[in-house]
Amino acid sequence: MSGAADPEAPATDTTDQEARATDFAGQGVVVTGGGRGIGAALARTFAAAGARVVVNDLDTEAAHAVARGCGGTAAPGDAASPEGLAALVGQARAALGEIDVWCANAGVAPVGGADAPAAAWASAWEVNVLAHVRAAELLLPRWLERGGGRFLATVSAAGLLTMLGSAPYAVTKHGALAFAEWLSATYRHRGVRVHALCPQGVRTDMLASTGAVGEALLAPTALDPEDVAEAALAGLREGRFLILPHPETAEYYRVRATEPDRWINGMNRLQQGLERSEAL
């Protein structure tokens, strides 16, 4: 079921002009998983653009260190569970008044295939997908009332393509992208702007944790988190749904959509190469 009546209908000029006019000075921004990596870079980049930032992370010290460094407010805790999110939204509203931008950035990257432990699948669903759904549930009533709000989902190129060696990651990142797309298609005319940030490799602790596979597949073209954060803010300013810090991702996505068998064959050749080199 696609339910797509007129997928080619263009966005109105007014919408695009509004998006281009985005200025983050004074805006209230929340970054989940902001204690390190891409989230820390997002927090610092928004703060440098004049935003008032709330930095969340499971790691209390890391959240405080980043908040201190960018003049923001730390709100440590779990940004995936219903209770944790309710507390975070409450703390953020107390600090910021309005939440203008929600960066659903916290993520986990368990490795493994169909035999990955049930706990790894559950944690990937909770943090990579349900955290976004639950945040949207809490944010939407106010955003619809005031006619605006921005949701930036840190997805991954794995959400558009796949990630060899990590079925829970690939599947849940597709879920995160699907939810972001649904949110945008449903609420765009009511002022809610949604963006899906889909980098390939980024030099963070998460990339390091993927070991030999990440080293072989992602490290050679990996970007620094600061470059990804700059690309994210540029994408928000331009009003783009898909933000691709590695521009070549667009071509891979096109081939996957238009020549799926060629795409799968290519990915399988990569898998065989990883098996030969014993990375997998």
Hey, which residues are catalytic here? Answer: 169
Which CB sits closer to ligand NAD, 79 or 96? Answer: 79
Q: Which stretch binds ligand NAD (CB under 6 A): 23-31, 44-52, 57-65, 231-239?
A: 57-65
Q: SS3 string of 182-217?
A: HHHHHHHHHCEEEEEECCCCECCHHHHHCHHHHHHH
The CA distance from 65 to 48, in Å, is: 16
Work out which of 106, 129, 167, 196 binds ligand NAD, going by CB under 6 A: 106
Binding residue for ligand NAD (CB under 6 A) from 27, 45, 56, 166?
Answer: 56
Q: Structure tokens of 206?
A: 């998460």
CA distances in angstroms from 275 to 112, 163, 207, 225, 233, listed in the order given: 14, 15, 19, 29, 38
Cβ atoms of 233 and 46 within 8 Å: the answer is: yes
Q: What are phi and psi of 48, to 5 degrees?
A: -65, -25
Q: Distance between CA 116 and CA 250 in Å, rounded? A: 30
Nearer to ligand NAD, 11 or 88 (CB): 88
Contact call for residue 65 and ligand NAD (CB under 6 A): no
In this structure, what token pair is assigned to residue 113? 């295939």
Q: Which is nearer to ligand NAD, 96 or 228 (CB)?
A: 228
* Residue 156 lies near ligand NAD (rule: CB under 6 A): yes
- Options 183-191, 204-212, 255-263, 267-275: segment touching ligand NAD (CB under 6 A): 204-212
Does the protein bind ligand NAD through residue 105 (CB under 6 A)? yes
Residue 172 interacts with ligand NAD (CB under 6 A): yes or no: no
Site membership for ligand NAD, residue 108 (CB under 6 A): yes
Judged by the rule CB under 6 A, the positions of this chain that interact with ligand NAD are 32-33, 35-39, 56-59, 62, 78-80, 105-109, 127, 154, 156, 199, 201-202, 204-207, 218
